[in-house]
Amino acid sequence: MVKRSTTAKKSSKQVSDIESSKYAAAKEAIKLIEDGMIVGLGSGTTSNVFIKELGNKILTEDISVFGIPTSFESRMLAIQSGIPLVSLDQCDTIDIAIDGADEVDKKSLNLIKGGGGCHTMEKIVDYFAEEFVVLVDNSKVVDVLGDKTPVPLEVLPQTYPTVLKELLNRGAAPAIRMSNKKMGPVITDNGNIIIDVFIDLDNPEEVERDLNNIPGVLENGIFTKVDKVIVGHPKKVEILER
Ligand code: 5RP
């Protein structure tokens, strides 16, 4: 059975609580960063708070930390924040990756990511890191993964008809993500399109593997290898660990 998301308008108090919660989570994550580390820099508004705080830490503590960005946006912000960058071909390991999420299953810590369409590079960096830490505000924590948020697939543009057919055959409800500021679909940093799909997530590890086996799908937004989730609240943080 396919469920659809509902968007309710948030009050200004809710918006400000969410902002304070993101900040609280980012400040907690900063405590994990040590001199000499290579740090995966996630994408999205919560990761952006962390990136700015990391820039401050490097400046004020005069430490040597290198970042690996997961998107065009996190790359730009890291440069503006004074974080020296390296690419995947310049490092053997990533010590820690800090990233956001669209939904977190509070029991398993499995995630849905890709609301910003950057999940392919995010998964490469996050899964390669020695430790993968997720930052969210409390509104992202759910009992049942995928009820309200679809799973994004990054798809080679010319394969959209066959990918859509295959998803429909599997009983899923797919939709091409359309752009607000240009005609046509959202185009990712890698020049591909996004198909958002409501699909049964009873076994997230299996679905994560299976979706990537559809020819034309580059990567999906189910993340099942998370070490720690820092949940920000307006005045405290909560740490969820496997
Ligand atoms: C981008 C992502 C983001 O991490 C996710 O969408 C959360 O973003 P935000 O912190 O803005 O809520 O996966 O592809």
Average pLDDT, the chain: 95
Determine which residue's CA is closest to atom 8 belonging to ligand 1.
Answer: 44
Residues 11-27 have pLDDT tens digits of 888 889 999 999 999 99
Query: What is the C-alpha to C-alpha distance for residues 201 and 197, in angstroms, rounded to an integer?
Result: 11
What would the pLDDT profile of 31-42 be if each residue is shown by its tens digit? 999 999 999 999
pLDDT of residue 1: 40
Q: Is 40 in the pocket of ligand 1 (CB under 6 A)?
A: no
| Residue 53 is a catalytic residue | no
Supply the pLDDT for residue 4: 46
Q: 152 C-alpha vs ligand 1 centroid, how far in Å?
A: 12
pLDDT digits (tens, 9 = 90+) for 100-115: 999 999 999 999 999 9
Q: Yes or no: is domain 10-143+224-234 CATH 3.40.50.1360?
A: yes
Statement: residue 61 has pLDDT above 50: yes
Beta bridge partners of 132: 97
Residues 6+ apart with CB under 8 A from 19: none
Residue 119 per-residue DSSP state: H
**Highest CATH level, class, for 151-220:** alpha beta
What does the domain layout of the chain look like in residue ranges? 10-143+224-234, 151-220
Best residue among 7, 22, 46 to mutate for probing ligand 1's pocket (most ligand atoms within 8 Å of CB) is 46
Percent of the chain with pLDDT over 70: 97
* Cα(199) to centroid(ligand 1), Å: 20
CA nearest ligand 1 atom 6, residue: 115
